[in-house]
Amino acid sequence: MAFSSILYSPVHFPLREPRSHLPRSRQLSVAAALPPAADVAVVADAIDGTTIAVIGGGSVAALAAVLSLSDPEKRRQMQAEEVGGGDKEVVREYFNNDGFQRWRRIYGDGDDVNKVQRDIRLGHSMTVENVMKMLLDEGPLAGVTVCDAGCGTGCLSIPLAKEGAVVAASDISAAMVAEAEKQARNELLKGKEELPAGLVLPRFEVSDLESLNGKYDTVVCLDVLIHYPQNKADAMIAHLASLAEKRLILSFAPKTFYYDLLKRVGELFPGPSKATRAYLHAEADVESALQKAGWRIRKRGLTTTQFYFSRIVEAIPA
């Protein structure tokens, strides 16, 4: 996921031919596109060719009126009760089952993805490339210890290991960790019994972010904060900062009025892929949490495609 200069590219709201007697100006069709990365579980199913018809005026007020008819929070609560816990249990259950199958395809390179999933794959790969560029800008990674917190299928861990970094990678999903370990062995060993000189296989483990410990030159957490409400995200940012000696890199779904509205529109349409809550975060809130932990932002980036939005910040000790 290479990073040069990535320009902001908003999602457009395409108009369609009216389906009722109302004039065109009284009808609004909104592509069910949702913000960021993570499982914005709302993205995969809700967007696949679906269009939301909102009758009553092409305005934010009309959208707000429709949003009031849905109760996504109640839906999430029911999901949490089904798995016997809160957000964390829902996330673990989802990414060990349906979510794992979906995101393994998205993070992979096969053709069994639809247009939206392919776009998200592109956005996520751009984020990884951006992060790799941030890291390599500071010099070679040989021997540098890196914690990949929330590693998924190893999209970042493997490129880091190829550069000689000593990687400790973890994910809450055992299925994701198993896939990451398999991919790492395939790509680094290439069928041989020994690694090329200077390379070390990433050390993978099943763990939530709260349980991570140790000290690392760099800690990276990509597209995971989307599973944390802001009050818990503050504590998690402080925890991740406590593990890092020199650098902390975070990517998160940016909270703006526009993205928040798109996310809420998507929540009107429950589906099997919408198994996790998606929390957006204002950049100012993330920066404030970093400052409280004694860190300051040195670099910023923004990855946007049609259906993927992710803000990246690199922080160093203040």
Going by pLDDT thresholds of 50, 70 and 90, the confidence category of residue 263 is low
Question: Given a cut of 60, is residue 12 above it in pLDDT?
Answer: no
Going by pLDDT thresholds of 50, 70 and 90, the confidence category of residue 14 is very low
| Phi, psi angle pair for 213, to nearest 5° | -145, 180
Distance CA 78, CA 58 (A): 33
In whole numbers, what is the pLDDT of the chain averaged over residues? 77
Question: Given a cut of 50, is residue 48 above it in pLDDT?
Answer: no
pLDDT in tens, 137-178: 999 999 999 999 999 999 999 999 999 999 999 999 999 999
pLDDT in tens, 50-60: 233 333 334 44
Q: In the chain, which ranges are continuous DSSP H helix?
A: 42-47, 60-67, 72-82, 87-95, 98-107, 115-136, 157-162, 174-189, 230-243, 257-266, 283-292
Q: What's the longest Cα–Cα distance across the chain?
A: 71
DSSP state of 22: S
pLDDT in tens, 67-107: 444 444 555 455 444 444 467 888 999 999 988 998 999 99
pTM reported for the whole predicted model: 0.74
Distance CA 222, CA 251 (A): 5
Q: Which residue has the tokens 């290991």?
A: 161
